[in-house]
Amino acid sequence: MKTIAILQLVAALILLCEVQARLFSAQTPRELLWNLCHPLFMKMPMHISTVLTFFEVIVGMLLAFNGYLMLKGSV
């Protein structure tokens, strides 16, 4: 069980760090828009990429929370 929890935490960190690196590395609003439209370094339409970034954050947080609870022994 602890192996699964550690893998969930690692996957969560990868997802959340990727989003953080894309969004907080921008120096100008134009760079922020460019980074927002290229999730996982793929070019796609803005509405799709915004939804994908939103789901990346949600899935990352759920994986981190579930992994933490599994390590703690609550689940």
pTM of the full predicted structure?
0.82
Structure tokens at 42: 């793929």
Which pLDDT value is given to residue 69?
Answer: 94
Local mean pLDDT, 10-residue blocks, the chain (75 residues):
93 93 89 82 84 93 96 83
Which pLDDT value is given to residue 75?
Answer: 67
Break the chain into its structural domains and give their ranges. 2-72
Alpha helix stretches (DSSP H) within the chain: 2-24, 29-36, 46-72
Q: pLDDT by residue (tens digit) across 21-31?
A: 988 888 998 98
